[in-house]
Amino acid sequence: MKRLSRAVLGSLPAAIDAPRERGPITTGIVHFGASAFHRAHQADYIDRLLDRDPRWGIAAVSLRTRGTVDALAAQDGLYTLAIRDVEPSLRVIGAHTQFLGPDDADATRALLAAPETRLITTTVTEKGYCMAADGTLDFGHPDIIHDLARPAVPASVIGWIAAGLTARRRAGGTPFVVMPCDNLASNGAKVRAAIAAFARELEPALADWIDDTLRVPATMVDSITPSSDDRLFGDVAGALGVEDRAAVQRERFAQWVIEDVGDIGPDLAIVGATVTGDVGGYERAKLRILNGAHSTLAYAGLLRGHTTVAEAMRDGELAGFVDAMIRQDIIPTLPPVPGLDLHTYADDVLRRFANPAIVHRLDQIAQDGSQKLPYRLGDTLIVNRRKGRMPLYVVRALGSWVAFLVKRARDNVEVVDPLSNRLRSLASDADPAALALRLAASGIGIPGEMANDATFVDALGAASSEALQGAALPEVAI
Ligand code: CS2
């Protein structure tokens, strides 16, 4: 079967939307992390924008692997976005001018220096920003140590952004805008501080320039995007009549809320992004309700023998537990968000989770727990404890993570997490209560300030043991 490419666009079935008539586009955005999420979410917005304004084509850089880059190069950068929902649809996206791999450093450097590049966006996952547990740049991180020693050939996204800013400042130019699109609380402020801290070590004058000029809007990004799989590739080939080895899939719902920091280049509001002065409210609601519930379903669901989110949602006891956690432990701690009813938001999230057209594997969500949980459940835990309240559902959710780690260690199955070695050695020979104690004491996955909260640590130990034994979930108190 032929591969998807520009040459076959004209012969695709007419019902499939594709950039058939579009003229040439130029690069205005450099994106780090060519992940499925980026290609399904951000690139979809940009693809629609390019019909009106051809200056914002994306050059996507993958800093770790070449696999996706090569697949896309063979397809002239084109790939299919499959919407898996009540009304499914397929669309060919042509938002990218190039895909670059880890060995394309010269081309990446040139793009970052080009005045036409106005915006840098990133989806490198929580761990990709090389931050310590407190959200500041981790100067002990091997990539940061490397990048400070060899700033011209960086390994980390922070190093690359600093290299780009160095070049622009030396050329007497203006900085680009940096827009992080990962699920970190206050992602704009944290990433800005990380870049500035890195630059200060490198060259104080660069850091001053960054302090004065760099804009890093906070964002909230949302669309459930399961990893691509063979079923997707088969469905797409069947519908298009050509093979697409870079297809991506997501639900129809997509949201992109961007902090208003003035002109950033592309006008994303005209393609449906929300540009607002207050991203914080949306971001907290999304991280704590949606992602908090997702991680809970992942760990508790895997322990209960489920494989996907939709399947876990069909487990009445588990779905009821997650619903109660949101209403009783999470929503009461969230400040009101103008224009957003949090209970309606939660209803919508739970409905999205139950979408039977989406096959979202729990083990995908379970990855990188040490990096995700502080934002997803830890912040809710802190607010509750500061109010003197014990959020029992959140404690049991965290206990499910602890139990999951113990089970994986006992079954001799590797966990996918940047701290996997550490987690494995903490979990080896530990019962769940002992591991809970160790995690709380070391501040891994559990907020550091909880280490001295003996009542919480006891409750977490008990909840972890219950989770491993498969004890009934806490009663739903209405
Ligand atoms: C998920 C998220 O994989 C995960 O950890 O919780 O990727 C989630 O699907 C997205 O944030 C939804 O926007």
Whether 364 is in the pocket of ligand 1, judged by its Cβ within 6 Å, is yes
- The mean pLDDT value for 215-235 works out to 98
Residue 456 has pLDDT above 70, yes or no: yes
Whether 294 is in the pocket of ligand 1, judged by its Cβ within 6 Å, is yes
- The mean pLDDT value for 385-406 works out to 98
Model pLDDT, residue 471: 86
Residue 154 has pLDDT above 90, yes or no: yes
Q: By alpha-carbon position, which residue is closest to atom 13 of ligand 1?
A: 222
Query: Mean pLDDT in the chain?
Result: 96
Assigned CATH for 6-277:
3.40.50.720
Whether 249 is in the pocket of ligand 1, judged by its Cβ within 6 Å, is no
Residue 323 has pLDDT above 90, yes or no: yes
Q: By alpha-carbon position, which residue is closest to atom 11 of ligand 1?
A: 222
In which element (H, E) is residue 373 found? helix 369-373
- The mean pLDDT value for 246-260 works out to 98
Model pLDDT, residue 473: 86
- The mean pLDDT value for 57-78 works out to 95
Q: What is the pTM of this model?
A: 0.95
> Is residue 230 exposed (0-12), middle (13-18) or buried (19+ Cβ within 10 Å)?
exposed
Whether 291 is in the pocket of ligand 1, judged by its Cβ within 6 Å, is yes
- Give the span between the Cα atoms of 46 and 272, in whole angstroms: 10
Fold matches, 6-277 and 280-469: no
CA 415 vs CA 56, 93, 125: distances in Å: 39, 34, 17
* 257 residue type, one letter: V
**DSSP code at position 328:** I
ipTM comes to 0.99
- The mean pLDDT value for 97-113 works out to 97
- Give the span between the Cα atoms of 185 and 280, in whole angstroms: 8
Which segment of 35-44, 223-232, 468-477 scores lowest on mean pLDDT? 468-477
- The mean pLDDT value for 219-241 works out to 98
What is the share, in percent, of the chain residues with pLDDT greater than 70?
A: 99
Contacts of the segment 471-474: beta carbons below 8 A, 24+ positions apart: 472/317, 473/300, 473/317, 473/318, 473/320, 473/321, 473/396, 474/321, 474/324, 474/392, 474/393, 474/396
Q: By alpha-carbon position, which residue is closest to atom 9 of ligand 1?
A: 224
Give the model's confidence band at 406: pLDDT under 50 very low, under 70 low, under 90 confident, else very high.
very high
Tens of pLDDT, residue by residue over 266-311, are: 999 999 999 999 999 999 999 999 999 999 999 999 999 999 999 9
List, edge to edge, every strand of the sheet that includes 27-32. Answer: 96-100, 57-61, 27-32, 119-122, 177-180
Between the CA of 22 and the centroid of ligand 1 the distance, in Å, is 32
User: 216: which 2 tokens?
Assistant: 């890093």
Q: How many CA atoms lie within 13 A of 222 on its CB side?
A: 27
Assigned CATH for 280-469:
1.10.1040.10
Structural domain boundaries in the chain: 6-277, 280-469
Model pLDDT, residue 478: 46
Model pLDDT, residue 204: 98
- If one residue of 183, 286, 322, 358 were mutated to test the ligand 1 pocket, choosing by the most ligand atoms within 8 A of its CB, it would be 183
In which element (H, E) is residue 259 found? strand 255-259
Model pLDDT, residue 474: 79
- The mean pLDDT value for 55-83 works out to 96
164 against 477, higher pLDDT: 164
- The mean pLDDT value for 156-172 works out to 98
Give the model's confidence band at 476: pLDDT under 50 very low, under 70 low, under 90 confident, else very high.
low
